[in-house]
Structure 1
Amino acid sequence: MTVFVGREAELAMIREVLADERPGGHRVVLIEGPEGIGKTTLMARLAAGLDRVRRASGAESESGLPYGLLDQLGTGVSGGPELVAAVERRPGPVTLVIDNAQWADEPSLQAISYMLRRVRSARVVVLAAVRDTAAGRLFPADHTLRLRLDGLDADAVGELCARVTGWRPSPREAARLRAHTEGNPLHLRSLLGDVPVRRLADLDAALPAPRSLTRRVLADLAAAGPAAADLVAAVCVLDGPCPLHVAAGVAGVAEPLAALERAIAAGLLAEECTGVVRLRRAVARQAVCQEYLGPSRRAALHRRAAALAGDRAGELWHLSEAAVGPDPALAGELAALGRRLADEFQWARAARMLGAAARLAPDLAAELGMEAAEARIAAGGADPRGMSARLRALPGTAWRGYALGLAELSAGRLEAAEAHLEQVWPAAGTPRLRGKVAGQLALLRLMQGHHRSAAEWNRQGTGELTAFVAAHVSQASAPAAAQTSGALLGRAAARLWHDDLPGAREDLEDILVLGSAPSVQVRMLARILLAEADHLAGEWDSALEHCARAVQLGGESEQPLFVPLAQAVAAQVRAARGEWGAAERDIAAAHAGTPLARDRAARAAIQLAAARGDAEGVLAAWLARPLSVHRQDGLLVEAMVTLGKPAEAERLLDQAEAERLLDQAEAGRLLGRAADGPPAAPASVRAARARARGALHAARRETEAAVAAFEDSLALLDGLDMPFAGALTDLSFGSWLRRLGRRNIAALRLERAHAVFEALGARPYVERSTRELSACGRAMRADRTGAGLTAQELAVAEHAAKGMTNRQIASSLFVSVKTVEYHLSHVYTKLQVRSRTQLALLLTAGPS
């Protein structure tokens, strides 16, 4: 049965070529890709709806037969001139479909190439499939569309599974199958035919190499020769990029460079860099280990690798792979190493070592297996459903209860996690386990919004997120030293609270540079905090990208605990941009999460109502909040002023400030900090409150107090790189000055706010500032260049034409240097200029 999935984009591109019926508009579509990737199926799908299709296929055994391909096409000719004449005589378009063109005989390909260069009146399209690019050089480059077929994505893999077997894998199951088969349809169908669905759906069960891949790898190994094959086997045993001399030592190859050249030519190995080699295709490792190497040879290679290992961890790992039966001494060393790695939050390596220890120590297998389960959950490599079922079948130890609680918490099931963790706390006998349980209870309490309880548990807890919890419950100053990813995350959270956006970003980017070393939760939270930092800094596209990556990571790992937080941050950006439907969907999704997520959703709902100019909506969102929403209390006060309730607004503002001081003092007491007085709220929060006080004084006609409050707000924001917050103050300040009749001064504030809103794409605020400027008698500046510059591009261009640097422009417009660079590159492209001097001359002269 032929199944076609996942090639819609490629189909559309090729059909566009086929739809061009101009005489002489001949084209070659060269479809490249490895064996089994779907080239033949794609061409068959394309040719099915065409008339006058001629088909041929190259064969390795016939590649030396002159004009064999032309003979298959039924042209009855031998040679380019004759082929031109034959094509010109035929009415209508002609489509030649050539499969396996890498094996086509050279005279036929030369004749086709000759014909394509010289035919004039006929319409000819050649669809050719090749396993490599060698045949592509025979076709005229100016008439060739080269299309590389890569593996199917996870969605297409899931669809193929559903059509072939009736089983539709989950996103995570589909992602695993895609990685295991590289998305190759041939290998995937081979695997589906060999492995029962229940095993495919068990993410903890190892999958065999597809038979189609194994046959290809074994043929390549045979073609490469014994020395090259042994070198490939050693690289597979070493499991990753490795120095060539180490692989040669393990393999016992005397001439490693010659062997490497043959392995590279066979498509088995590649050079990562000089002297470092890796498998060309990672999925080939299982085929080599399963079929090329028998158990005894594989164990012998692991023993050699252990002897050549440069560290004790590597030596222990290879010895465990070579072991035949239980080995208590080796298991003890592996367990100690795995626990140390877990304490250092190196989760992937810890899971590997603890799993190996469990295999070699049957008496301790249950406990070690649960410790390995913890590491695998943290690393994102566990199947939560299968793991929970297996854990429930084990004896009811404290470790089992902790592992179950951890799995439930990671899945976002707070009540079930709470039940397991609280039940196991009295039975957690060792300090190590007690610290782990307390750390998870601290995180649980934070997600429930119970800051005091979170702080109490956090004092007793250990874990990767203890610093993150501490930062949220205390808002203390960021510690100077931070070594682990968890400590970096906590410091970043503290820095973000204290408006240190550059410092927070530096810490968070350092976490993400570590790749797979931090836990899934740390990586998700790093993305979410980066999104918050980018939101505050006006880098809104980047903020949305980080939110999307966090949501994707939560789905791939089946750990959705923090996904609603990411959706809430995305909603704040979409609300400010006026993307009402998308913002409402994100808010609704975040409301379905934990109380902490609902708190963030309330922030977004308040911002959405404020962007719409809906003061009653702001009040309603505030009253519906599950916790306290301190960063939005300024918006609430402004809404109360708008609703004509200045007295209530003042009480709310005083109460918000008092509650923040109380919360910080209580958190400091719980965490045992020195009682030197609670720290002040961050400058950005105080700036929002000052803006609200300005609106309150303005409503009471207290002119001097209003001016002082607005100016205080701008002074607090100076140097914080928070353009949107500054623009909001300019808008409020300018709107009030306009109502006082001070139109010229008001216009200066409003123009600056308008430029920032334009640069950010904050549509509701652009419209609001435009209306205020019109009321001042100021029309927005027109684009005199005639090049279609947007308002933000024009503002940046005019500042640049005055000789201002990018940093000066950014400071003037309250945007980031990155935003200025982005707009300036578009200006140069649209105006076709290369320098500020040319830009100044053009803006002075106007359109030509």
Structure 2
Amino acid sequence: MVSRLAVELQDDVLAIREVVERLLPSQRTGLRPLPTPLPVVPAIAARFHDLILPARDRDLLLALSVSLDDRLDPLLTFDGRSALEISAAPVGRHLIVRAGRVRFTDTRLAIWVQARTDPAIIGAVHDRLSGMFRSRGDGMSADWHRARASLERDPRAAAELTRIARELSEAGHPDRALLLAREATKHADGADRDEARLVAGAASVGAGFAVEAAEWLGSLFPDGTQRYRLQGLAGLITARAHLHGAVPDVDPNSLRPRTDDTGDWYSWTRAAALAAVLCAERGDRPGMRRWLDALRVGTARVGAERELRDPVIALSWLLVGERDLDDIAGTGPLSGRMLCALRAAVDGDVDLGLRTLEAAEPIMDGELDPLVAGFEFSPVVRAYLSVAETLLLVWRGDIGRARDRLLLAARELSIAMPFAGLGVVLARRLDLAVLGEVGPVSRSLTAALPPAMKTDVLVDRAIASYLAGAFDDAAASMRLWIDLGAPQTTLSVPGLDEVAATGEIGPDAPSIVAPPEVFLAHELRIRVATAVDARWRSEHDGVHASARTLRSPFARARVESMLGVQCAIHDEIGAARSHLRSARHLFELAGATAWARAVGDRLDRLESRGTEADVPTDPLSACRHVWSQLLTAREVEVAMLAVVGAGNKDIAAALGVSVRTVEVHLGRVFAKLDVRGRVELTALAHRTNRHV
């Protein structure tokens, strides 16, 4: 939304702010298109307050502002002057004429001239343009301007506008398609009006305008023409799933066609296919199974088992974490290319997955996708491909490039829609990895999410705290996240298991989708975090050997960093420096600047060890997040009190337990941490405080 306003308002910050204040909440969040034209706010009015235009020049500028494209020839025919004459006239300073095209020098003038012109004059200009385009054989433009000029309904123009809008939508131009389809709905009647509503809704889905799509397609239910109602069902389910965070809880059979028409049944079947995938994205297995059952019924009836049923089943089960599937692929960008790319990555070949996605666009030319028929070139499908590419780059450890790609996509695509908001989660995590904080674009994307859709804010806070050196705060956020059930996206996004064991996410764990290397890196980090003195040396050597097999520089850097910290805790300073330096270089290679900076800070503390500034003032703050992974909560409390010199009676009084209970807890602490008494426990705490 902001990028579009920046283009239309010449990067005028004041005008952008004033326009945003007048927008509906759904327009501000990109869930509804911007008004056409934009409102004339004080900043725009002030810029042109002394502009006086002769009627001929005003009509020329007005004609350009209401035209569907920027071709020069029709404007010359409309005005009657040559390009040279227009350029030499006073109006020429407001126009840029080049290569047969014409546009405003200042796009804000198009807004001002429409707002400051009498509606009757605007209608007359539309009428003139209609006649001119008709004489040139451009029926679509002629019908558009005739409809805009008409004070009464014009059903003949509506049918043509709807046809052209459908073609534009399917060609990947949903904004213009929506403009034409909305105009068609004002002039059409009966079934023709239902078709125009369908096209307006489909164009809205393609553009990512979920609120707009839900309104247009929802208006077809329950009494709209069955053909168009069923054609719009898939789009309506998509829009409502995004807005409400879940696929509508309806019985698929209640939406079945009431006739034997094959086309109607195919529309219903495709809606079931898309609903199943949307449920899978959200981890809703019961809903997915319900819609897959409907898909099987429908594909058997219309004979689309191979082209639609098989790839949709494969994609759905892949998205919920079932990876052992037959090598089934569909056609087109989603059921074909994206499915193949994700499967290749999950099987361990992320580079092959990226090559598959990069090859998608040229191969998409003329290649239909039964799952998203008519949307192959739409912005929403391009958003899916962009988010999938970003995810694979993250899995490969190419953090800086992943962030650049996603930020570029966010300027023109609704990246919040794919995979139940995965793009927003990725944007926030990538900002944290590079900046150390969530940036303005990611904050805007988060604010634009529907209320029902949430991100892992606690994990984000933990990462920000960890990178800033506030380890206790990071551990507290992660413990709270775990207490709340450890919610996370099915498609794995890097979290923070450096400060809290996050449980099993291995290849056999349900509902986690990632390459084998992601699982291996997680296992290695947990091994380092939970290693005690008795097995530290063997764990160090084994983890280090395994870490060297990781191809992702980001994943390996996190393991190297943890090895460095543990080596420092065990007074192996040379090894600690080596691991931390390797981690810093690898983080820099990955483009994870904030992580590299955090490791650099650790190295600085290690180099200056022994100085007064390194003496910890609060052992609890440094030790708790490490020891809490090895000890129970009560054992941690007992251990920390023992470290600061409290006797058994004092500990018992502080915690409200018996001395015998304290002795039992301390015995377990000594055993788990592999120390022989309070002196070694205190020494271990101070080493941990110094180096974690």
**Cα 1:180–1:357 shift into 2, 3 Å:** closer
Say whether residues 1:414 and 2:274 are aligned partners.
no
Q: Tell me the residue number matched to 2:560.
A: 730
Q: CA deviation at 1:449?
A: 1.3
Alpha carbons of structure 1 residues 177 and 383: separation in structure 2 relative to 1, 3 Å: same
User: C-alpha separation between the residues in 2 aligned to 1:235 and 1:589?
Assistant: 36
Partner of 1:753: 583
Q: Displacement of 1:368 after TM fit?
A: 2.0
What percentage of residue pairs aligned between the two structures are identical? 17
Q: Residues 151-170 of structure 1: matches in 2 within 5 Å? A: 152-157=14-19, 170=25
1:258 aligns with 2:85: yes
Deviation at 1:594, TM superposition (A): 5.0
Q: What aligned pairs does 1:538-553 form with structure 2 within 5 A after superposition?
A: 539=399, 543=403, 546=406
Q: Is the alpha carbon distance of 1:257 and 1:632 closer, same or farther for their aligned partners in structure 2, counting shifts above 3 Å?
A: closer
Change (3 A) 1:713 1:594: farther
Going from structure 1 to structure 2, the CA distance change for 1:687 and 1:435 (only over 3 Å counts) comes to: same
1:248 maps to a residue whose letter is L
Give 5+ residue unaligned stretches, structure 2: 1-8, 300-307, 364-375, 615-692
Query: How many residues of Structure 1 are paired with residues of Structure 2 in the alignment?
Result: 550
Letter of the structure 1 residue corresponding to residue 486 of structure 2: R
Alpha-carbon distance change, 180 to 405 in structure 1, aligned in 2, over 3 angstroms: same
Q: 1:761 to 1:149 in 2, by over 3 A?
A: closer
Shift of 1:479: 10
Aligned equivalent of 1:434: 268
Query: Of 96, 101, 115, which residue of structure 2 is paired with 1:276?
Result: 101
Q: Is contact 1:443-1:454 (8 Å) kept?
A: yes
Q: Give the alignment partner of residue 625 of structure 1, picking from 467, 483, 486.
A: 486
Which of 292, 312, 319 is the equivalent residue of 1:472?
A: 319
TM-score of the aligned structures, taking structure 1 as reference length: 0.50
Aligned ranges 1:362-373 → 2 under 5 Å: 362-373=189-200
Q: Which residue of 1 aligns with 2:546?
A: 712
For 1:124-523, what aligned pairs fall within 5 Å after superposition?
Answer: 150=12, 152-157=14-19, 170=25, 172=27, 176=34, 180-181=38-39, 183-185=41-43, 187=45, 219-222=52-55, 226=56, 232=61, 235-236=64-65, 238-242=67-71, 244-249=72-77, 251=78, 253=80, 255-262=82-89, 264-265=91-92, 267-271=93-97, 273-280=98-105, 281-283=109-111, 286=114, 293=121, 295=123, 298-308=126-136, 317=144, 331-332=158-159, 334-343=161-170, 346-378=173-205, 384=211, 388=215, 396-397=223-224, 399=229, 402=233, 405-412=237-244, 414=246, 417-419=248-250, 424=255, 430-431=264-265, 433-435=267-269, 437-451=271-285, 453-454=287-288, 457=291, 472-473=319-320, 499-500=350-351, 503=355, 518-519=378-379, 523=383
SS at match of 1:688: helix
SS of residue matched to 2:96? strand
Q: Which amino acid aligns with 2:509?
A: E
Does 1:570 find its partner at 2:428? Answer: yes
Instruction: State whether residues 40 and 112 of structure 2, in contact with CA within 8 Å, keep that contact through their aligned partners in structure 1.
Output: no
* Alignment correspondent of 1:659: 509
- Asked if 2 retains the 8 angstrom alpha-carbon contact of 1:342 and 1:375, the reply is yes
Deviation at 1:367, TM superposition (A): 1.5
* CA gap 1:633/1:404 in 2 versus in 1, 3 angstroms: closer
Q: TM-score scaled by structure 2?
A: 0.59
Alignment of 1:33-72 (within 5 A): none
C-alpha contact (below 8 Å) 1:447/1:594 kept by paired residues: no
1:151 positional shift:
6.5
Q: 1:357 to 1:693 in 2, by over 3 A?
A: same
Tell me which amino acid in the other structure corresponds to 2:96. Answer: A
**Contact 2:59-2:125 within 8 A present in 1 as well:** no
The code of the aligned residue for 2:564 comes to: G
CA distance change for structure 1 residues 447 and 539 in 2, over 3 Å: closer, same or farther? closer
Q: Cα gap change, 1:696/1:562 in structure 2, threshold over 3 Å: closer, same or farther?
A: closer
Q: Which has the larger radius of gyration?
A: 1
Residues 436 and 278 of structure 1, relative CA distance in 2, 3 Å threshold:
farther
Q: Secondary structure at the match of 1:180?
A: coil
Aligned amino acid, residue 177 of structure 2: A
Residues of 2 paired with 1:184 and 1:420: CA distance? 51
Find the aligned partners of 1:728 and 1:536 in 2 and give their Cα distance.
14
Q: What code does the residue aligned with 1:414 have? A: A
Q: Distance in 2 between matches of 1:586 and 1:314?
A: 37
Q: Distance in 1 between matches of 2:437 and 2:134?
A: 58
1:245 CA displacement: 3.0
**Which has the bigger relative contact order, CA under 8 A and spacing at least 6?**
2
Deviation, structure 1 residue 371: 0.7
Closer, same or farther: CA 586–235 of 1 in aligned 2, 3 Å: closer
Distance 1:379 1:681, change over 3 A: closer
State how far apart, in whole Å, the 1-side matches of 2:79 and 2:327 are.
54
Structure 2 letter corresponding to 1:621? W
Q: Structure 2 vs 1, CA of residues 707 and 682 (structure 1 numbering), >3 Å: closer, same or farther?
A: same
Q: CA deviation at 1:261?
A: 2.9
- Match of 1:761, SS state, is helix
On the 8 A contact 2:275/2:291 being kept in 1, the answer is yes
**DSSP-derived class of the 1:625 partner:** coil
**RMSD between superposed Cα atoms in Å:** 6.1
**Secondary structure of 1:152's match?**
helix
SS in 1 for 2:102: strand
Structure 2 residue matching 1:239: 3-state secondary structure:
coil
Distance change in 2, residues 1:346/1:578 (3 Å)? closer
Report if the CA contact (8 A) 1:348-1:517 is conserved: no
Say if 1:478 and 1:495, in contact at 8 Å, map to a contact too.
Answer: no
Distance 1:382 1:630 in 2: 25
Shift of 1:277: 1.0
Q: Is the 8 A contact 1:496 1:504 kept in 2?
A: no
* Structure 1 match to 2:6: none
1:241 aligns to what SS in structure 2? Answer: coil
CA contact (8 A) 1:299 1:322 kept: yes
